[in-house]
Chains A and B, each alone.
Chain A
Amino acid sequence: MSISTATLIIDGVEITVPEGTTILEAARDNGIIIPTLCYLEGLTSYGGCRLCLVEILGSPKLFPACATPVSTGMEVITNSERLKDYRKMAVQMLLAERTHICSVCVADGHCELQELANQLGVDHVMLERHWTAKEIDSTHDFLVIDRNRCILCTRCLRICDEIEGVHTLDLKLRGKDAEVIMDLDEHWGNSCSCTSCRKCAKVCPVGAIYIEGEPLSHTKRKDIAEFITERRERKRKQ
């Protein structure tokens, strides 16, 4: 059985990958780094953070690399000045949307949003910031959610649904008012479906979900979804 492949050009480099691969995967497999925030290997793509936007020659539109499959003859640019400006703006919008104060945050120094701001050279936020006072839920035995720090990347919902398989977490409302909820908007401590597996805290890119009393350097494991899906695949093949 032969696998059909696609050949495309990313940043001037000719790349051949299996059909159905996303631009992001094709780039990463060839050492081209595209910044991401909501993307997590092992989970379905969401395309919400807009940091992985790329240019495809011949189209005025920008495409999210994590959710755009490759096709033969595509010419992709991943790091133009225009894209850099868009990415800087995306980070600033995320920082402006809720109450992000690094110096009082558990994730300070372990935060993917902060890290991206540094990489992209965002040293201040040009937009007027919203100061939210959403509820902090610490009713669970050890898991805490501070919705003021949430960037709505939905990594936690996806890992809860796709890997843990319980779908305790979901979103309510829309746009800037959207909030991560447990079951039918219960307090976390009253959730009857939560298995307390901690995966949500492990994949949270910021300090929105964390484990009480545990240093974040210990909690954070971005590769957990990748690890579990890979092991599952391997078991299925046996």
Chain B
Amino acid sequence: MSFLDLDELLIELAKKIQVVYSPIADVKTFPENVDVTLVEGAIGDEDQIELLKKAREKTKILISLGDCAVTGNVPALRNALEDSDRAVLQRAYVENVDVNPQIPNDVPKLLKKVRPLHEAVKIDYFIPGCPPPADIIGYVLTELLSGRTPNMEGRSKYG
């Protein structure tokens, strides 16, 4: 959503970039030779960690976008619970359900703890913030597009 806050810069960007993969694009497999991937959200289940590793493999520059990706943020609140993976499923599918409560077995297996991205793969740039400020996203993308290295010093807003 913060990405959409780039407003008119989006039109500029659209001329220069091609969106090859996104959760809302109709592409099933992660493409090869990607220049930049923005990843948002923490790693909470096994499918996500697999996709992240695939993205890392096929991307030159991987950017951790937003507090969930950078710190774990709200999804990681469950980490403080004992056996948090079981506890959240129990709460969502059993305790709060009136009709036929059961823990589903056809969803990706939750990890014991929700992790920020950099605990699983190497990250090239961090854009923290909840939400991450649009002007910093814009700055990083325009710098990368013009072949420069973004200087993040003094720009980040933690949390």
A interface list, Cβ under 8 A from B: 99-105, 108, 111, 114, 117-118, 121-126, 128-129, 131-133, 148
Contact = CB atoms under 8 A, between A and B. Distances in A.
Interface of B: 64, 67, 70-74, 76-77, 79-81, 113, 116, 118-119, 123, 126-128, 130, 152-154, 156-159
Contacts, number: 70
Contacts of A132: 80
23 contacts: A101-B71, A101-B72, A101-B73, A101-B76, A101-B77, A102-B71, A103-B74, A104-B74, A108-B159, A111-B159, A114-B158, A118-B156, A118-B157, A121-B156, A122-B158, A123-B127, A124-B64, A124-B70, A124-B118, A125-B116, A129-B71, A129-B79, A133-B81
Instruction: Output the residue of B127, B152, B157 with the most chain A CB within 10 A.
Output: B157
Given A101-B74, A103-B159, A123-B128, A131 B113 contact: yes
Nearest to B119: A128
Contacts of B126: 123-124
3 closest Cβ pairs, A-B complex: A102-B159, A131-B79, A123-B156
Nearest to A103: B130
Contacts of B81: 133
Instruction: Output the residue of A102, A108, A118, A124 with the most chain B CB within 10 A.
Output: A124
B150 to A, nearest CB: 12
B1 to A, nearest CB: 14
A218 B23 CA distance: 42
A115 to B, nearest CB: 9
A118 B156 CA distance: 6
Nearest to B72: A129
Nearest to B152: A123
A117 B158 contact: yes
Contacts of B157: 118
B73 A103 contact: yes
Contacts of B123: 124
Nearest to B123: A124
A238 to B, nearest CB: 46
Contacts of B119: 128
Contacts of A104: 74, 77
B48 to A, nearest CB: 18
A121 B80 contact: no
B47 to A, nearest CB: 22
Contact of B154 (A99, A114, A121, A148): A121
